[in-house]
Amino acid sequence: MKDLFSNDTIVALSTPPGVGGIGVIRLSGPEAIRISEKILPGLNLQAAKSHTLHFGIVRDGDTVLDEAVAGLFKAPSSFTCEDVVEISCHGSPYILQKVLQLLISKGARLAKPGEFTMRAFFNGRFDLSQAEAVSDLIASETQAAHNLAINQMRGGFSGELKILREELMHFASLLELELDFSEEDVEFANRPQLISLLEKMQLKIKRLCESFRLGNVIKNGVSAVIAGRPNAGKSTLLNAMLNEERAIVSDIPGTTRDTIEENLTINGIAFRLTDTAGIREAADAIEKQGVERTMQKIEQAAIVIYLFDADGFSPDEVAEDLSKLNKNKGIPVLPVANKVDKMEDPNKFNEIEGISLVSAKNGYGIDALKKQLYDTVIQGGNIHDGVILSNARHYEALEATLKNLEAAKKGIENKLSGELVASDIRSALNHLGEITGTVTTDDLLGNIFGKFCIGK
Amino acid sequence: MKDLFSNDTIVALSTPPGVGGIGVIRLSGPEAIRISEKILPGLNLQAAKSHTLHFGIVRDGDTVLDEAVAGLFKAPSSFTCEDVVEISCHGSPYILQKVLQLLISKGARLAKPGEFTMRAFFNGRFDLSQAEAVSDLIASETQAAHNLAINQMRGGFSGELKILREELMHFASLLELELDFSEEDVEFANRPQLISLLEKMQLKIKRLCESFRLGNVIKNGVSAVIAGRPNAGKSTLLNAMLNEERAIVSDIPGTTRDTIEENLTINGIAFRLTDTAGIREAADAIEKQGVERTMQKIEQAAIVIYLFDADGFSPDEVAEDLSKLNKNKGIPVLPVANKVDKMEDPNKFNEIEGISLVSAKNGYGIDALKKQLYDTVIQGGNIHDGVILSNARHYEALEATLKNLEAAKKGIENKLSGELVASDIRSALNHLGEITGTVTTDDLLGNIFGKFCIGK
């Protein structure tokens, strides 16, 4: 496991890329202080106390690169538990890149994504699910997502799992003990108590698993694609939902070619709205590319807003389009009639299930459509309910745990040998341990920290 | 003047917006420490030493917003010479916005752009041209621009001006003294020496002014627009120059609708390359919008690459297009023949002055075209020559100074009254003083610092 853990000194830009007042470059490792001193001549960081700030001039030989402030955290009192120096430069991408290069030339190595947090995990600062929450916390864009992540980072989720795991561990050790005395046919582990524990765990874990769909939506947002025939008013609908003139609109069918994506938050849930080129037999090669991109987007969507011209379309045509769209592996499709201000019979589309009536042009029905989007996604889930599972990896581990627990329970009920039951329980413990990192592999860690941003 | 200077506590996000490992929120002012303590309960920053770092939990009432590190700089040992606290949070836009709001609710005020640097200027940390260089330094994207800015920030330019100004001040005071004794007809100021000083100053300032065109290019980059008829291969040329598939290309005239902008650095000079919609009688309303945007872009360009199809175009047609483009107020136009691989007579366009031959498709001539772009912009200027002027405000002030110096010189030569000469010299001193901020107005300062990013 410790293959991933190297003992060299890593460096990365820790602030977002781009122009700003300041940008912070972070070093961690045994040489962090010495390497920093090389580019900040005159500073004696070795002799300085931990948790102090030092003004200095960043020099590359005779060239002045910047005036900077170095923040010093000495091991083990740092995020990574190693020596850490944070160099605060002016927020110019050019300077930050030059300073990074300079530090690398002096012996630091560019950190891999998440490598600082991985070191923090290896050095025991927190468990794996807490480390993962650091990444989620940074990525959270809504209050709901933030609450989920900070609760997990501060150990709310780990704590719950830890208690379950310890109770199970207790029984597991009793079972193992029985195996040692297997010839004497004793039962140290009270079977009814064990079954009751297994059932309690199953219930808790099932609830957690059920919360995953919602947690995932809260964490990752929802990709909603606006699709339909040319000139249905898709770009106008996008603009109306965003309340700004984002996409070029015109009366000419096929105005939109490249897909346009924008974010929209509805009641704390982030939606990525995608406006697409209208679907029809393409008139030329460019439009063909556009239509192909649309079809891709529909396949990747979590929800499709099927928009049509209420004035020019018949219910049969709508039903036909919907039946084609519904072939898409169960992705929910919201049928939306646009231009209802021009529609003569207000009941024209009553037969279409779940129909929304809007006029993208004058804003009629837009708020109701947003609410319907939200409701479709949340489906009655209460986002304030206890611990919510939001990590696909945890979900899979818990699903596997559930299976092990069920097998163990069946094994006891069918009076199978203690060895088989113990083996199922060991599997369950392993799967639970993967979540907090008690049990882990290089692949798993590479996977988890590879998703972090560089510099964290 | 001090109207602009308020004594309250300001706050802003100092790192670039976006997602990253960390984001830093900076407070400055008399309440900076007290306000920080309110959101980091348990920390006693009042009692802590300057230049120290403190780990804490950011809380909004009972809600945990983040785990953060506060960096403490006590007045006057800070960038602004006031109490400064820099709070390093996780780099989540959501968290940073929440923490900002929280600090504002506790009594801080959102800083205006450049307000931290303005306070540093007011508190005497540096002069105005140095303060301006802070902004230039942050914005610099190339080595040439960075060298210019850091030289100016560290006082290279101010130093030169200061010496000139002090010499002139010396004579000015002698002249003023003469005025006090005007009835006695004495000459304290040696006229030949004064004329020689004026000429020396004129020469130096002229050189600085001459360096401005270059300095401006180094600092701001060059907007280069690729224009021409539809299907000349403009998008293909953009892709070839960038060496990536940035723009959608097809054989169909009119593929590009929205203008596409990308950055390209040639020998340390930044170019903003703009690909535009082809110019022709527009076939429809969308294309018409595209053509209009193209014409706007051409008007705003510093240099126009006029691209045409070498195979399908005659020299006369090219000359006609060029004569139309050249009407654009002296913006240089580089004629570029594309698709020369298909051209039968290699000398076909020899008559066109400054013609470049390229094949955007196979890359022929692209490097030569880049070199020509660079040469056109630099026009033999040596970018390593001494102090280079890069600030339009300084340029204007120096131009005005030059006029005053010339008037003073003429006045002495024509033996005008000392009062008139003294008045011209006073004007020159004022204009020089504007550059370093010795002489300044609220409008001027508002203008300068308004161009800064927020948080600096």
Of the pLDDT bands very low, low, confident and very high (cuts 50, 70, 90), residue A1 is: very low
What pLDDT sits at residue B357? 93
Measure the CA–CA gap between B261 and B238, rounded to whole angstroms: 9
* pLDDT of A2 above 60: no
Chain B residues closer than 8 Å to A137 by CB: 66, 90, 92, 95
Q: What is the pTM of this model?
A: 0.70
Interface touch B16/A141, C-beta < 8 Å: no
Q: Residues A212-224: what's their mean pLDDT?
A: 83
Interface touch A51/B51, C-beta < 8 Å: no
Q: Which amino acid is at A134?
A: V
Q: Read off the pLDDT of residues B148-180 as tens digits, 9 standing for 90 and up.
A: 888 888 887 788 788 888 888 888 888 888 877
Output the 3-class SS for B119-180.
HHHHCCCCCHHHHHHHHHHHHCCCHHHHHHHHHHHCCHHHHHHHHHHHHHHHHHHHHHHHHH
Q: Are strands B20-28 and B84-91 parallel, antiparallel or unpaired?
A: antiparallel
Q: Read off the pLDDT of residues B9-41 as tens digits, 9 standing for 90 and up.
A: 999 999 998 888 999 999 999 999 999 999 999
For residue B3, the 8-state DSSP code is: G
| Cβ atoms < 10 Å from Cβ of B194 | 23
Nearest chain A CA: its distance from B98 CA (Å) = 9
Among the listed residues B267, B263, B201, B268, the one whose alpha carbon sits nearest the alpha carbon of residue B238: B263
Nearest chain B CA: its distance from A405 CA (Å) = 35
Q: Determine if the peptide bond prior to B76 is cis (ω within 30°).
A: yes
Interface touch B19/A20, C-beta < 8 Å: no
Point out the residue among A86, A139, A257 whose CB comes nearest to the CB of B19. Answer: A139
Judge residue A184's burial from the number of C-beta atoms within 10 Å of its C-beta, 0-12 exposed, 13-18 middle, 19 or more buried. Answer: exposed
Q: Residues B441-451: what's their mean pLDDT?
A: 81
Measure the CA–CA gap between B245 and A134, rounded to whole angstroms: 35
Q: Read off the pLDDT of residues B103-142 as tens digits, 9 standing for 90 and up.
A: 999 999 999 989 999 999 999 988 998 888 888 888 887 8
Nearest chain B CA: its distance from A423 CA (Å) = 40
Q: Name the more confident of A37 and A184.
A: A37
Interface touch B140/A92, C-beta < 8 Å: yes
Of the pLDDT bands very low, low, confident and very high (cuts 50, 70, 90), residue B384 is: very low
Q: Read off the pLDDT of residues A140-182 as tens digits, 9 standing for 90 and up.
A: 878 878 888 888 888 877 887 888 888 888 888 888 888 777 6
